[in-house]
Amino acid sequence: MKTVAYISGKIEFNKGGCYVGGQKVECPTNGKAFTGTDELDLLPRIPSLEKRSDTLFFSLLLVIILGVAVLAVLKVKIFGKTLAEYLRPIWYLILISLTAVAWQYLFGLKLDDGLMSIRVSQWIWEICIAVSAYKLIRTAGFGYGNLFFLGVLYSLIIHGLKVSVRYLFYAKTFMYLLDRFLYGSLLVMVIVFLGGSMLLFFKRRGVFS
């Protein structure tokens, strides 16, 4: 008979296997824990990042939250605009984007439809990003620098939420999270900065007012 041992503690993942307090244990096989086989789209494998650390993760999250809070409270201007001027005209589009992301994890992943629901929800937040850039160019006089910072904001909002969910509920390592964040942020920048730059170019050429 196979003996099953229960070991209490946080599982640390690396290429050598799974460890709890320095003791090697059998890696979880429930499909939600990292097993070293997650595919990366942009980054090469970096062994030092194939790990998890609650202290580091929550410290980085706290720094980002405090940084955004300081920008808002002190009304710091980034490329001539305060944080409120970036967010106030498009708050409902940000809310729709966050709702689409939350729906992906709460319901979309549970549907057996060939990932079509996931694609549709992704199209929703992509459309919201494009509309945000268009709206701010038309109504708030945004320039190229503003579009770049808007892309940074949307990357932190959308993909910051995504990597948080993956870390907290899917036991992913920093290597995987960094790869997914960079990949998602690149997509956001293409939509916001490149797409918005084209709109800005045509606006300055007088194609639309």
Q: Domain tally for the chain?
A: 2
What's the whole-number mean pLDDT along residues 82-95? 96
Question: What is this structure's pTM?
Answer: 0.78
- Residue with the bigger pLDDT between 30 and 209: it is 209
**Separation between Cα atoms, residue 153 and residue 149, nearest integer Å:** 6
Examine residue 44 and state whether it is found in any structural domain, yes or no: no
Same domain as 70, residue 140:
yes
pLDDT of residue 182: 95
% of the chain with per-residue pLDDT over 70: 80
Q: What is the pLDDT of residues 93-139, one digit of tens each?
A: 999 999 999 998 888 888 878 788 889 999 999 999 999 999 999 88
Please report whether residue 46 resides in a domain.
no
The distance of Cα 207 from the centroid of its chain, to the nearest Å, equals 34
Whether residues 12 and 79 share a domain: the answer is: no
pLDDT digits (tens, 9 = 90+) for 156-200: 999 999 999 999 998 899 999 999 999 999 999 999 988 888 888
User: Looking at the structure, do residues 101 and 198 belong to the same domain, yes or no?
Assistant: yes
* Alpha-carbon span 125 to 87, nearest angstrom: 15
Domain match, 62 and 33 both: no
Shared domain check, 158 and 102: yes
Closest CA to 133 of 147, 114, 153: 147
Give the pLDDT of residue 20: 57
Q: At what angle do helices 174-189 and 160-170 cross, to 10 degrees?
A: 160
* Dist. CA 166–CA 104, nearest whole Å: 12
Angle at the Cα of 32 from the Cα atoms of 26 and 35, rounded to 5 degrees:
45
Higher per-residue pLDDT: 193 or 58 = 58
What are the two backbone dihedrals, phi and then psi, of residue 28, each rounded to the nearest 5 degrees? -60, 150
